[in-house]
Amino acid sequence: VKSQLEEKENKKFPVFKALEFKSQLVAGKNYFIKVQVDEDDFMHIRVFESLPHENKPVALTSYQTNKGRHDELTYF
Protein backbone atom coordinates (compact mmCIF):
# COMPACT_ATOMS: atom_id res chain seq x y z
CA VAL A 1 0.00 0.00 0.00
CA LYS A 2 3.06 2.28 0.04
CA SER A 3 2.40 3.45 -3.52
CA GLN A 4 -1.27 4.18 -2.69
CA LEU A 5 -0.22 6.36 0.27
CA GLU A 6 2.48 8.14 -1.74
CA GLU A 7 -0.09 8.93 -4.43
CA LYS A 8 -2.59 10.33 -1.90
CA GLU A 9 0.08 12.42 -0.14
CA ASN A 10 1.82 13.31 -3.44
CA LYS A 11 5.29 12.53 -2.06
CA LYS A 12 7.77 9.69 -1.75
CA PHE A 13 8.65 8.18 1.62
CA PRO A 14 12.31 7.27 2.16
CA VAL A 15 11.30 4.76 4.85
CA PHE A 16 8.15 2.62 5.01
CA LYS A 17 8.46 0.32 7.99
CA ALA A 18 5.52 -1.17 9.88
CA LEU A 19 6.19 -1.00 13.63
CA GLU A 20 2.91 -2.19 15.13
CA PHE A 21 -0.51 -3.33 13.94
CA LYS A 22 -3.97 -4.28 15.13
CA SER A 23 -6.64 -6.07 13.15
CA GLN A 24 -10.43 -5.98 13.09
CA LEU A 25 -12.54 -8.73 11.58
CA VAL A 26 -15.31 -7.36 9.35
CA ALA A 27 -16.47 -8.72 5.98
CA GLY A 28 -12.75 -9.13 5.42
CA LYS A 29 -10.11 -7.59 7.69
CA ASN A 30 -9.12 -4.07 8.61
CA TYR A 31 -5.51 -3.60 9.63
CA PHE A 32 -4.47 -0.53 11.61
CA ILE A 33 -0.73 -0.09 11.15
CA LYS A 34 1.78 2.36 12.63
CA VAL A 35 4.27 3.09 9.85
CA GLN A 36 7.57 4.92 10.06
CA VAL A 37 7.86 7.05 6.89
CA ASP A 38 11.01 9.03 7.76
CA GLU A 39 13.53 9.16 10.60
CA ASP A 40 11.16 10.96 13.00
CA ASP A 41 7.90 10.90 11.03
CA PHE A 42 5.14 8.34 11.53
CA MET A 43 1.67 7.71 10.12
CA HIS A 44 -1.20 5.46 11.11
CA ILE A 45 -2.79 3.71 8.15
CA ARG A 46 -5.88 1.54 7.76
CA VAL A 47 -5.70 -1.22 5.17
CA PHE A 48 -8.61 -3.41 4.09
CA GLU A 49 -8.11 -7.02 3.01
CA SER A 50 -11.20 -8.49 1.38
CA LEU A 51 -12.34 -12.07 1.77
CA PRO A 52 -10.29 -14.59 -0.27
CA HIS A 53 -13.12 -15.50 -2.66
CA GLU A 54 -13.49 -11.82 -3.69
CA ASN A 55 -9.97 -11.92 -5.14
CA LYS A 56 -9.29 -8.19 -4.62
CA PRO A 57 -5.97 -6.55 -3.73
CA VAL A 58 -5.43 -4.96 -0.32
CA ALA A 59 -6.45 -1.31 -0.25
CA LEU A 60 -5.46 1.73 1.77
CA THR A 61 -8.78 3.00 3.14
CA SER A 62 -7.72 5.74 5.56
CA TYR A 63 -4.68 7.27 7.19
CA GLN A 64 -3.59 9.77 9.83
CA THR A 65 -0.51 11.99 9.49
CA ASN A 66 1.75 13.77 11.99
CA LYS A 67 2.01 10.85 14.38
CA GLY A 68 4.91 10.20 16.74
CA ARG A 69 6.69 6.98 17.64
CA HIS A 70 4.85 6.81 20.98
CA ASP A 71 1.34 7.78 19.77
CA GLU A 72 -1.10 5.00 20.60
CA LEU A 73 -2.40 3.06 17.62
CA THR A 74 -6.19 3.22 17.86
CA TYR A 75 -9.11 2.22 15.63
CA PHE A 76 -10.18 5.00 13.26
Question: What percent of the residues of the chain are helix, what percent strand, and what percent coil, each to the nearest 5?
Answer: 15, 50, 35
Which residue from 22, 36, 32, 21 is spatially nearest to 69, judged by alpha carbons?
36
Domain 1-70 has CATH 3.10.450.10: yes
Other beta carbons within 10 angstroms of residue 21's beta carbon come to 14
- pTM for the complete prediction? 0.89
Query: What are the tens digits of pLDDT across the range 35-74?
Result: 999 989 999 999 999 999 999 999 999 999 999 999 999 9
pLDDT for position 12: 94
Q: CB 37: neighbour CB atoms within 10 A?
A: 22
Q: Where are the domains of the chain?
A: 1-70
| 51-56 own/partner pairs: CB under 8 Å, 24+ apart | 51/27, 54/28
